[in-house]
């Protein structure tokens, strides 16, 4: 049993300034950051995922970070993989007498780590995948309902639908093997950043336009030019989905911007829903006012650490 003495978590919806705050806190307390972002693990997904490594530099010092750029787009990565990798990173950080700071907006990753979920592994069933790939989105949704899958699956994401169905069928057939990570988190403090909804929507829009103007489209084009399958990029959702559809001629530029903005706002709403669920499951979140200055947020956080 690995004992985790203390971790800090900073979570929040997209565009709430989590990384910047985590970096500032890490400088104050001697911390290192573990990313809890399901897309920042992938190499080459930089602007679209907000992977600005310059953010980790503060006062000529670079805050060490973990679980960024650890997979290629074609390599699978599960919630269990995150849980395992996060525990290994925590062990490394604490052995250096530093404080682990988990920072991100992927609620399932954070919840799995904090509540020590036990997961099962499965073997890819290529025959089943081929069969499911021929089905419509509506057909996949109906099959999900029939299988009574309770896990949240990103709407209209064919790749996620197929994966969820594949796992559910193997669970029913009792052919999965459980991988248990034996650890105990002795103390945790969880902070969340929250903005009024209209202000968050404005932040989302302004950030989207800034990213479009500073190379996000070119980033996706380069991935396509290097041979990345468009369907793979579309399966990643949000920026990579809609920009790919624009580049392959399925959407006009204005349609892409409008649909992407709407999708990001909906995503932020789903994140908030997940965080509320985490609170119902016993994870106490100290909510910080996003409108406060970062120094005020840090002072508030220090009261709880």
What percent of the chain is modeled with pLDDT above 70? 93
* Total domains, the chain: 2
Same domain, 221 and 129: no
**Which residue, 42, 47, 37, 40, is CA-closest to 220?**
47
Same domain, 246 and 273: yes
Q: How confident is the model at residue 181 (pLDDT cuts 50, 70, 90)?
A: confident
Enter the pTM of the model: 0.83
Same domain, 148 and 110: no
Residue 162's pLDDT is 85
Rounded distance, CA 233 to CA 211, Å? 17
| For range 153-175, the mean pLDDT | 75
Least confident of 109-118, 209-218, 292-301: 109-118
Same domain, 198 and 269: yes
Residue 12's pLDDT is 98
CATH number at residue 74: 3.40.50.300
| Residue-wise DSSP of 32-94 | EEEE--TTTTBTT--TTTT--GGGGEETTEEPPEESSS-B-TTS---HHHHHHHHHHHHHHHH
Q: How confident is the model at residue 156 (pLDDT cuts 50, 70, 90)?
A: confident
Q: How confident is the model at residue 240 (pLDDT cuts 50, 70, 90)?
A: very high
* Ramachandran category for residue 237: left, alpha or beta (phi over 0 → left; psi -120 to 50 → alpha): left
CB 45 within 8 A of CB 73: yes
Same domain, 114 and 202: yes
Least confident of 23-32, 45-54, 105-114, 166-175: 166-175
Residues spanned by the domain of 148? 120-178
Q: Of 140, 162, 178, which residue is a domain's last? A: 178
Same domain, 45 and 152: no
Tokens (6 digits) for 269: 């709403």
Q: Of 178, 202, 228, which residue is a domain's last? A: 178
Same domain, 197 and 278: yes
Residue 203 has pLDDT above 60, yes or no: yes
- The model's pLDDT over 33-91, given as tens digits with 9 standing for 90+, comes to 999 999 999 999 999 999 988 999 998 899 999 999 999 998 888 888 999 999 999 99
Same domain, 89 and 104: yes
Could you write out the three-class secondary structure of 138-168?
Answer: HHHHHHHHHCCCCCCCCCCCHHHHHHHHHHH
Q: How confident is the model at residue 177 (pLDDT cuts 50, 70, 90)?
A: low
**Which residue, 103, 22, 107, is CA-closest to 68?**
103
Residue 124 has pLDDT above 90, yes or no: no
Rounded distance, CA 65 to CA 23, Å? 9
Same domain, 168 and 30: no
Q: Of 128, 155, 178, which residue is a domain's last? A: 178
Rounded distance, CA 293 to CA 132, Å? 49
Same domain, 147 and 68: no
- The model's pLDDT over 268-292, given as tens digits with 9 standing for 90+, comes to 999 999 999 999 999 999 999 999 9
Residue 149 has pLDDT above 80, yes or no: no
Same domain, 20 and 169: no
Across the chain, mean pLDDT equals 91
Same domain, 89 and 16: yes
* Ramachandran category for residue 97: left, alpha or beta (phi over 0 → left; psi -120 to 50 → alpha): left
* Ramachandran category for residue 259: left, alpha or beta (phi over 0 → left; psi -120 to 50 → alpha): alpha
| Higher per-residue confidence, 263 vs 129 | 263
């Amino acid at each position: 049993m690995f004992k985790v003495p203390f971790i800090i978590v900073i979570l929040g919806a997209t565009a709430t300034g989590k990384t910047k705050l985590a970096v500032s806190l890490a400088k104050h307390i001697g911390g290192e950051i573990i990313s809890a972002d399901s897309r920042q693990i992938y190499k080459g997904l930089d602007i679209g995922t907000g992977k600005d490594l310059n953010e980790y530099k503060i006062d000529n010092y670079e805050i060490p970070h973990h679980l960024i750029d650890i997979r290629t787009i074609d390599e699978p990565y599960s919630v269990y993989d995150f849980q395992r990798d996060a525990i290994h990173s925590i062990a490394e950080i604490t052995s250096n007498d530093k404080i682990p700071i988990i920072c991100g907006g992927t609620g399932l990753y954070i919840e799995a780590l904090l509540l020590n979920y036990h997961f099962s592994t499965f073997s890819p069933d290529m025959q089943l995948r081929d069969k499911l790939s021929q089905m419509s989105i509506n057909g996949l949704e109906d099959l999900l309902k029939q299988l009574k899958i309770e896990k949240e699956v990103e709407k209209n994401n064919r790749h996620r639908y197929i994966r969820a169905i594949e796992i559910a069928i193997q669970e029913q057939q009792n052919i999965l093997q459980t991988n248990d990570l034996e650890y105990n988190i002795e103390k945790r403090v969880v902070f969340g950043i929250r903005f009024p909804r209209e202000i968050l929507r404005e932040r989302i829009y302004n950030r989207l336009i800034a990213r479009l103007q500073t190379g996000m489209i070119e980033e996706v084009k380069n991935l396509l030019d290097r041979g990345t399958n468009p369907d793979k990029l579309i399966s990643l959702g949000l920026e990579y989905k809609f920009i790919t559809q624009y580049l392959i001629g399925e959407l006009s530029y204005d349609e892409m911007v409008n649909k992407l903005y709407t999708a990001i706002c909906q995503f932020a709403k789903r994140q908030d829903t997940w965080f509320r669920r985490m609170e119902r499951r016993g994870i106490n979140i100290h909510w910080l006012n996003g409108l406060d200055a970062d120094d005020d947020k840090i002072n508030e956080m220090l009261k709880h650490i």
